[in-house]
Structure 1
Amino acid sequence: MEDIVAKLQPHAMEIGAALALILLAIFFLGRTKADEPVLHPTDFRQFKLVKKTQLTHNTARYRFGLPKETDSLGLPIGQHISIQANIDGKNIMRSYTPTTLDNDKGYFEVVAKTYPQGNISKYLAGLKVGESVQVRGPKGKFVYSKDLSPHLLMIAGGTGLTPMFQIIKSSLGDPSDKTEMVLVYANVEENDILLRDELDSLVAASNGRLKVYHVLNKAPDVWEGGEGFITKEIIENHMYDGGVASGSKVLLCGPPPMMTAMKGHLKDIGYPAPRAISKLEDQVFLF
């Protein structure tokens, strides 16, 4: 009997070791799958359109579903995603900042304006509920945190609102965040103002931490905001006490001609010029 046990013992040890390896492999494979991020930085993944809401005559909000209702996109605040589509045999890609946060479970939303020559924007406009887009990310040099700056002056035009909106929502949703924010937001007409009701609600709930000033190129007869274009004087009127020396960061996002004008105004005020590719530590950050 002792001889039999002695002969079986090495085999039992081998079988036990093999079972241990199998169980370990199952554990790690299961954990990797469960912990796998929804987004991938280099591989495009498919997300289905589940809802489309027209905001203006040429701008819509697109809601895309995530694999599970408990999933979040996993996008750092201030980062953006790339949307790709095959158009006329070519893979075309554009960047968008979702207006949702990670506490919005099961979906993410993108607000996009349809341009006559915009390949991806026209592709999104023609997308039907149930159809999918290819997305990868995160991308970008900007990551918001509550200690980034005591004050943020945001200057946006049109859909350039989206990164500002994401930052504002995140900041106001954190009771420990004390950052003061001013958004100067330019559009052509009053009907072009995006997410206006949401912005008004955020201002009302901010306890004075958020102020929004609208500027319209074509203002109605009765209008309390700015008229024409954003000027150096408008920027100076909405800067924090101490101006450049206060340490306030300036965030810019909008059409290239507008951004060129804003950089000129900020230079005249005394702000350093943004780099060709902005970095988080820059006092003026251009998305």
Structure 2
Amino acid sequence: MHYFLHLYFLVLILCHPHVVASLDTENFKGFKLVKRDQLSHNVAKFKFELPTPTSVLGLPIGQHISCRGKDRQGEDVIKPYTPTTLDSDVGYFELVIKMYPQGRMSHHFREMRVGDYLAVRGPKGRFKYQPGEVRAFGMLAGGSGITPMFQVARAILENPNDKTKVHLIYANVTYEDILLKEELDGLTTNYPDQFKIYYVLNQPPEVWDGGVGFVSKEMIETHFPAPAHDVKILRCGPPPMNKAMAAHLDAIGYAPETQFPF
């Protein structure tokens, strides 16, 4: 199914050269919220409509968008987010947002209702993925840092010509905090030889077969491919986690040029 979606997208571009990306790198553009699904007490999935049913967002793999909103005081706030959709998902894009009690942009998303418009600019980011550029990725994600990893993993796995292997360690506080779990488990089911995930929880439930505590050097050594020139490590999470992971990766021997923090 996904293979044909990619084929459709390619044919669309070739047969209709007027198909253009919806994003603008210089100016914010408004996109209408057409669906909102509350996934948990503080997480929701927002579906935004693109200008036409065949429009694409125009976001390169590994890049993100800037979203602008208003905080509690009515002040402008701008924050980066990575959609969970790809350009093979034509006509719309989706954001999975974790809303924090004190988060300034979280307030804006909490207040958003179907029919409202979100101001978006992009694409942005230093990471650009080329299919097959490495043999394997090790991905370290914490909390909402899963969204760029999910985007890159989907793009790899849904491309039948890309044989890159993906090894993901995903850390959260509780089981309820795991974002996109159903989608991630779906990738494991559909691409068992290419995609591996290891969940780590700080406060696991009584019955739990994943990792416990914080992500350790030993967990990385067990679940990631060994350091090599054709292995790249991506990481995205809260600042304390990023700092700890960088130290672990250096200690294991991953060269600085093979590490990329989002």
- Per the normalisation by structure 1, the TM-score is 0.82
Deviations along 1:41-60, one digit per CA (max 9) or x if unpaired, are 01000001111111222111
The structure, 1 or 2, with the larger RCO (C-alpha pairs under 8 Å, 6+ apart) is 2
- CA drift at 1:72: 1.1
Q: Structure 2 CA distance, aligned partners of 1:218 and 1:246?
A: 36
2:27 — aligned with what? 43
Deviations 1:14-66 (A, max 9, x none): xxxxxxxxxxxxxxxxx99x454310001000001111111222111111111
How far does residue 125 in structure 1 lie from its aligned partner after superposition? 1.4
**Aligned residue among 242, 249, 255 for 2:238:** 255
Q: Deviations over 1:85-131 (max 9, x none)?
A: 24435321000000001111111001111112211121011101000
1:181 to 166, 169, 186: 166
Classify the secondary structure of the residue corresponding to 2:251: helix
Instruction: State the Cα distance separating 1:141 from its structure 2 match.
Output: 0.8
- In structure 1, how many angstroms separate the alpha carbons of the residues matched to 2:134 and 2:76? 39
Q: Which runs of 5+ in 2 are unaligned?
A: 1-15
Structure 1 unaligned spans of 5+: 1-30, 274-281
* Rounded Cα–Cα distance in structure 1 between residues aligned with 2:207 and 2:165: 29
Counterpart of 2:97 (choices 99, 112, 115) is 112
SS in 1 for 2:155: helix
Query: Does the 8 Å contact 2:200/2:212 carry over to 1?
Result: yes
Distance of 1:35 and 1:245 partners within structure 2: 40
Looking at structure 2, the residues matched to 196 and 35 of structure 1 have their Cα atoms a distance apart, in angstroms, of 33
Between structure 1 and structure 2, the one with the greater Rg is 1
Q: Which residue of 1 aligns with 2:260?
A: 285
Q: Counterpart of 1:239?
A: 224
Following superposition, which runs of at least 4 residues in structure 1 exceed 2 angstroms of deviation?
34-37, 86-91
Q: Is the counterpart of residue 168 in structure 1 residue 153 in structure 2?
A: yes
Secondary structure at 1:257's aligned position in 2? helix
Work out the CA distance in 2 between the residues paired with 1:37 and 1:151: 29
Equivalenced residues, count: 246
Does structure 1 conserve the Cα–Cα contact (< 8 Å) formed by 2:19 and 2:55? no
Which of 32, 56, 66 does residue 40 from structure 2 map onto?
Answer: 56
Deviation by residue 1:153-179 (Cα, 9 ceiling, x = unmatched)? 000011100011011111111111000
SS for the counterpart of 2:248 is: helix
Which string of whole-angstrom CA distances, capped at 9 and with x for unpartnered residues, describes residues 165-215 of structure 1? 011111111111000110000011111111111111111111410000000
- For residues 43 and 61 of structure 1, what CA distance do their matches in structure 2 show? 24
Q: Distance in 2 between matches of 1:55 and 1:89?
A: 26
Instruction: Provide the secondary structure at the position in 1 that maps to 2:40.
Output: coil
